[in-house]
Amino acid sequence: MKSNRSLIFEEKAIPKILFAIAFISILTTIGIVLVLVTETIEFFQHVSIIDFFTGKILKPLSQNPEFGVLPLINGTIISSVIAMLVAGPIGMMTAIFLSEYASDRLRRVLKPILELLAGIPTIVYGFFAFTFVTPLLREFIPELGATNILSPGLIMGVMIIPMIASLSEDAMSSVPNAMREGALGLGATKLEVTFKVVIPAALSGIVASFVLGISRAVGETMIVTIASGSSKNLTFDLTQSMQTMTAYVVEIASGDAPAGSPLYYSLYAVAMTLFVFTLLMNILARYISHRFKEEY
């Protein structure tokens, strides 16, 4: 048995160790934000902030470079919308089945299999979109480009399905069975109980899962980098190649941008825009979760 002295030492040391670990994570976050902010400010010493956020042309490598971020925002939003149009309905229907219709045994089998999709590396998804999905879609859409925004958007949706399905299923499973039994006792059908009792009661968790899914789509990198190309087009044509903010960061970071040049600092300006975008989405998810949370 341990002596009282060693037990007292552990009781005092462990909280301090845990605090130090938590403090390191906080310092890391602060450091990342400070780097983004300082380098972004440096970029706006060379490029007008108004031109950056309102410019429709992005030609960072031309002799007379232009740094309008709208093409990147446009590509990011379009790819995210396509992804959510795929992941939203499929993920929601999957969550309903797992929560309300599947037996416990079937749920224990299907849910881990579904979550395997989340463990596949995104670069694999990217090559799958480029080498399989795009050629398949070109059989039905001949004008589809070799690189386009439609194919990666669809595959991003497949990647996000486990997140939406799992979080929504957890929210619906937390609804007390007494509410279901009460509705069934009043003569409601299983479908009516699901859509008129369970889903409204779990709405905060479901909406939060959708918002987090959007954040995941906005921050995706490798799928759009591989399958969408690097054309900085400001268009709504889904058959055309577009570039997202994450893909632009990869392009510039892996290129030969000289340190201290506007091209180099544009990487941080775009990264800061992406950071603010995803931060707002996560804040919205937390607000919705707390605002409409039901206590049982």
pTM for the predicted model, two decimal places? 0.86
pLDDT for residue 294:
62
Name 173's Cβ contacts closer than 8 Å, sequence gap at least 6: 99
**pLDDT band, residue 296 (cuts 50/70/90):** low
Higher pLDDT, 224 or 60: 224
Predicted local confidence at residue 184, as pLDDT: 83
Architecture of domain 58-291: Orthogonal Bundle (1.10)
pLDDT in tens, 261-272: 888 888 899 999
- Work out the average pLDDT over 81-85: 94
The pLDDT of residue 28 is 92
Burial (CB count <10 Å: 0-12, 13-18, 19+), residue 188: middle
Please report, as a single letter, which amino acid is at residue 266: S
Whether pLDDT at 129 is above 60? yes
Per-residue pLDDT of 131-183, as tens digits, reads 999 999 998 888 888 889 999 999 999 999 999 998 898 888 888 888 888 88
| Predicted local distance difference test score (pLDDT) of residue 293 | 65
Integer angstrom CA distances of residue 66 from 39, 48, 175, 240: 18, 11, 53, 21
Q: Which residue from 257, 234, 244 is spatially nearest to 39, judged by alpha carbons?
A: 257
**Domain boundary assignment for the chain:** 4-43, 58-291
82 neighbors 154 (Cβ within 8 angstroms): yes
CA distance 117 to 128: 13
Q: What percent of the chain has pLDDT over 90?
A: 25
> Cα–chain-centroid distance for residue 165?
14
Helix axes 203-218, 150-173, angle to 10 degrees: 150
Q: What value does the mean pLDDT of the chain take?
A: 86
pLDDT higher than 70, residue 295: no
pLDDT > 80? residue 7: no
